[in-house]
Copies of this chain bind each other. A is one copy, B any other.
Amino acid sequence: MSGLGNVTVTASPKEKFREYLATQKMRLTPEREIIVDEVFDNHEHFDAEELSERLRSSGRKRVSRSTVYRTLESMESAGLIRKVARPNGSEIWEHDYGYPQHDHLICRKCGELQEFHNDEIKAILESVADKMGFFMDGHRLEVFGLCSECRRAPVRRHRKLDMI
């Protein structure tokens, strides 16, 4: 993960974070380091509470909830992580930096998140934005429906009215 001896042009998330913090006259403190490490130690999606729990059980020095919230926000500003919406309206974090651009298929039934990548979409969005005088610097796209697993299931309850 540290990339020592690695000749790729991209800095590690931690380095990128440190650079960003410097521009804000902020420091990469032990707490912030713990958080950025834990976040990039695996590629799971998470929310602040889950991350706190992971930190707690990871045996690392304890970090307060406030600091977790504050740090995640900084990491977002630094371009390290971004938010994804769940179909129920709640939001979770995922890696952004160093991770290939992608969007999500989200199952309304089991909540499962599948990633997909498509270049055409970005191109279309660029051109749409351009036509409207809008400068695009990012997007968020979620496709809702039923995953292959759940559409096969015989359940026919349909609590939601069919979408028009």
Q: Which residues of A contact B (CB under 8 A)?
A: 20, 23, 77-79, 83, 85, 89, 91, 96-97, 105, 107-108, 114, 116, 118, 120-121, 124-125, 128-129, 132-148, 151, 159-164
Q: Determine which of B20, B118, B139 lies in contact with A142 in the assembled complex, contact meaning CB atoms within 8 Å.
A: B139
Question: Mostly helix, strand, loop or mixed at chain A's interface?
Answer: mixed
A129 adjacent to B141 (CB under 8 Å): no
Copies in the complex: 2
User: Could you name 26 residue pairs across A and B whose Cβ atoms are closer than 8 Å?
Assistant: A20-B161, A83-B89, A85-B140, A89-B91, A96-B164, A97-B164, A105-B129, A105-B132, A105-B136, A116-B128, A118-B124, A120-B120, A121-B121, A121-B124, A129-B143, A133-B147, A134-B143, A134-B146, A134-B151, A135-B145, A136-B145, A139-B142, A139-B144, A140-B140, A140-B141, A140-B142
In angstroms, Cα B160 to Cα A135, docked, is 15
Nearest residue, chain B, Cβ from A152: B133
Q: Tell me whether A23 and B144 are in contact in the complex, defined as CB-CB below 8 angstroms, given that A105-B129, A134-B114 are known contacts.
A: no
Q: Tell me whether A147 and B134 are in contact in the complex, defined as CB-CB below 8 angstroms, given that A124-B118, A140-B141 are known contacts.
A: yes
What's the least CB distance linking A7 to chain B, in Å? 19
Known contacts A85-B85, A105-B129, A137-B163; 18 additional CB pairs below 8 A are A20-B161, A79-B162, A89-B91, A96-B163, A105-B132, A114-B132, A120-B124, A128-B143, A129-B143, A129-B145, A132-B148, A134-B146, A135-B146, A136-B145, A137-B145, A140-B141, A140-B142, A140-B144
